[in-house]
């Protein structure tokens, strides 16, 4: 259960519950309507309407918890999670390779990140803020409620939510992407596609390979993989956009290494890193 709570100060006296709920926590109009309908907005423990006038010392609360049954397709599964950070609103995970976020349309998934999180939280809800491909490792953020997820999505691809995925030259790739003709999976450069931007930096280079820091400022499917292939530098091990070589690595060598974000409720700065996994360290 997630209940937002605020004690009204003198400067706020005479304002409505709606004004404070929107001002303090940026609660949307649609969510306000749902909260009002289920009696989830209270003042001093008593349900009120959004137009209720507040007075100094009043305790304004809003229950923004997810309601049971909102995600009936998620199958909870007991699968270990590597947790980098957790509070009442967020779960930051170090995702391993080989596990998908959601069940794939054409395959049966025994374990998924969605199922593992649902089991861990004892909930049928799952709200991924940033998504990683099955073969990609590293940091992914999960919101514990739909309310927090909505707040996080307003931060995504801004300075308040920055991800680095480890060509000292730097540059930018601005290349729109679209779906490759005849494929349900593959993406390709497309001048009429969705805009996509990636910043890159070379950290080191040896033996025909380079360790890069990649910072996506948009979030298109396979964006980093397609962008690197498009400039002639496909990811090591990328079977779809480069050359598969399982003697080097059994997946695309992509790892979500660093995340810095502003907490969507408290405003605190969260800064976490996930060390390179062993299969990528062997490439260095």
Active-site residue set = 133
Exposed e or buried b per residue across 172-207, where buried means at least 16 C-beta atoms within 10 angstroms of its C-beta: ebebebbebeeeeeebbbbeeeeebbbebbeeeeee
Opening angle at CA 268, ends 266 and 272, nearest 5 = 130
CA pair distance 133, 240, nearest whole angstrom: 12
End-to-end alpha carbon distance in the chain: 45
Question: Which residues, 6+ apart, have CB-to-CB distance to 157 below 8 Å?
Answer: 216, 217, 218, 219
Nearest residue to 225 via CA among 132, 102, 163: 132
CA pair distance 208, 210, nearest whole angstrom: 7
Contact (Cβ atoms closer than 8 angstroms) between residue 124 and residue 70 = yes
């Amino acid at each position: 259960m997630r209940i937002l709570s605020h004690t009204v100060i003198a400067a706020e006296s005479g304002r409505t519950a709606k004004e404070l709920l929107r001002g303090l926590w940026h609660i949307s109009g649609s969510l306000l309507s749902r909260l009002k309908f289920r009696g989830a907005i209270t003042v001093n423990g008593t349900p009120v309407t959004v137009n209720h006038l507040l007075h100094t010392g009043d305790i304004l609360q809003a229950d923004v918890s997810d309601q049971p049954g909102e995600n009936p397709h998620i199958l909870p599964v007991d699968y270990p999670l590597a947790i980098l950070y957790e509070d009442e609103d967020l779960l930051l995970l170090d995702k391993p390779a080989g596990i998908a976020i959601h069940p794939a349309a054409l395959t049966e998934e025994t374990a998924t990140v969605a199922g593992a999180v649902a089991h861990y939280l004892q909930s049928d809800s799952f709200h991924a803020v940033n998504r990683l491909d099955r073969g990609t490792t590293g940091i992914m953020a999960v919101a514990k409620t739909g309310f927090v997820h909505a707040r996080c999505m307003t931060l995504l691809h801004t300075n308040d939510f920055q991800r680095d995925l480890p060509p000292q030259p730097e540059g930018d790739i601005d290349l729109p992407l679209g779906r490759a003709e005849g494929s349900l999976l593959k993406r390709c450069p497309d001048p009429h596609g969705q805009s996509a931007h990636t910043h890159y930096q070379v950290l080191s280079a040896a033996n025909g390979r380079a360790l890069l820091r990649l910072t996506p400022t948009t979030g298109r499917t396979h964006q980093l993989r397609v962008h690197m292939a498009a400039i002639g530098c496909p990811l090591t091990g990328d079977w779809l956009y480069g050359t598969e070589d399982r003697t080097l690595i059994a997946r695309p060598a992509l790892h979500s290494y660093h995340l810095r974000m502003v907490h969507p409720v408290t405003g605190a700065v969260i800064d976490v890193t996930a060390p390179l996994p062993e299969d990528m360290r062997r490439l260095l």
